[in-house]
Amino acid sequence: MLDIIMFALWTLLAAYAAWYFASAKHYAPMTLTEAKILWKIHRKNVQCNGKRLREIKRHGKMVGYECECGYKYFQKRPIVGNIPTVDANVQGSRPIAIDKLQTTTA
């Protein structure tokens, strides 16, 4: 009997961990420009006649939009997703392909 209970507990723990790492998401902020682009794509894909979009905000940041037709879009990201790092030397660096094009062979 104890083996069955332990198996059930481990199975529940594994299922919860799988849900947490795969499905758990949080709202991610987006800009008005991103929302307008996604809204235009929505209108084109479903032949929507909506003329305006309404911002959806959470904690003072725009996280999605709502179309006049009733369609709602929320930008969500996984909780465990890494935040991309910004390299400080990006402005002064040149792409490697340009360096290869400018080299001469003797």
What is the per-residue pLDDT across 23-76, written as a single tens digit (0 to 9) for each?
Answer: 777 788 899 999 999 999 999 999 988 889 899 998 899 999 999 999 999 888
Say if 64 falls within a structural domain.
yes
For residue 31, tell me if it sits in a domain.
Answer: yes
Residue 67 lies in a domain: yes
- 13, 22, 60, 62, 80 from 19: Cα distances, Å: 10, 5, 28, 26, 11
> Is residue 88 in some structural domain?
no
CA–CA distance, 58 with 76 (Å, rounded to integer): 12
What residue spans of 1-106 are helical by DSSP H?
Answer: 2-22, 32-46, 96-102
The total number of structural domains in the chain stands at 1
Which one has a higher pLDDT value, 71 or 100?
A: 71
In a domain, 89, yes or no: no
Q: What phi-psi label fits residue 85: left (phi over 0), alpha (psi between -120 and 50 degrees) or beta?
A: beta
Domain that holds residue 67: 25-81
Q: Residue 25: in which H helix or E strand, if any?
A: strand 25-27
Q: Is residue 77 part of a domain?
A: yes
Assigned domain for 65 exists: yes
